[in-house]
Amino acid sequence: MMTQKLTKIGKTDILSTPLGLGTNAVGGYNLFPDLKDETGLEIVRAGLENGITLLDTAYVYGLGHSEELVGQAMKDFDRSHIILATKGAHDFSTGEEVIKNDPKFLTEQVEASLKRLKTDYLDIYYIHFPDKTTPKAEAVGALQRLREQGKIKAIGLSNFSLDQIKEANADGYVDVVEDEFSLLHQDNAQTMMPYLEANQISFVPYFPLASGLLTGKYDQAVSFAGDDIRSQIADFKKPRFDEALKAIDRIRPVAQAYDATVTQIVLAWYMQNPLISVVIPGAKRPTQVINNAKAMAIDLTKDDYQKIDDAFSWFKDEESGKSLADPD
């Protein structure tokens, strides 16, 4: 099925499919209503059965429950063929959400994640958010010591600014950065990615489908209730929403030419973008994972890649910022 080559993570020997699976809707009961554990298990299995090798989870997805479900789903598969990524930085021990990067806390978090995931090593461990006090190179140093013990293979940063990434990478230990990027959010292409490329640091975009907007399923008639997170996101408000719908209409003929959906053609664009290592769309149903995996078989021509790029040119000149606020 796959025509795509494997992609290397940073300076490591880790090789992943260019499409991974984001699992915030697997066990992330604090993020989404009405999640069922069995559906979560089926989502992970569907990914692994359909050629996806990278699973991306985090402690804060269900406060460890996503990791538990991912670990449970993985047990029927060959662990050596799975690229397992998780993230930590949230401390809820006081009842309040506190972001911590201190070496002792990160070391404890890695050990706890290993237990929940029922594995003896993590392929990628990300510091999920930067805190305000820990020197970033010290935080990364703690992960480097865990790498030397064989507990993690690659060191990642998530939601770090360019200056924070540079500080964290003082010793050259950082392998991968995860942050928001999509056809609607291209800020990082100008700011962060040149540094990452120059330092052999891989880039993994989250929200690649922009909360479903880039699937092509919405039209002008859509509206969201006040408690729906999409009602807070600028992409679903004018003028960004109108511009997004126009751009999506421009790429529908490209999708049709490949007998593909809008989602699949957008994912194919990411997989052929030289700035991106692995794209990690999430899913709430196994069928979505199966359909997303089919995008790995699409090989866009240079012309069609450029057509998609051009369709979203409005968003290249717009400062979009983050879709959601970082925790303090």
Return the active site residues.
61
Would you list the DSSP string of 62-120?
TTTHHHHHHHHHHTTS-GGG-EEEEEE-EE-TTSS-EE---HHHHHHHHHHHHHHHT-S
C-beta separation of 229 from 211 below 8 A? yes
Three-class secondary structure of residue 160 per DSSP:
coil
How does DSSP assign 222-281, residue by residue?
Answer: ----TTSGGGG-GGGSTTHHHHHHHHHHHHHHHHHHTT--HHHHHHHHHHH-TT-S-B--
Residue 7 belongs to what H/E stretch?
strand 7-8
Sort residue 67 into left (φ over 0), alpha (ψ -120 to 50) or beta. Answer: alpha
User: Could you tell me if residue 176 is left (phi over 0), alpha (psi between -120 and 50 degrees) or otherwise beta?
Assistant: beta
Judge contact between 259 and 291, C-beta under 8 A: no
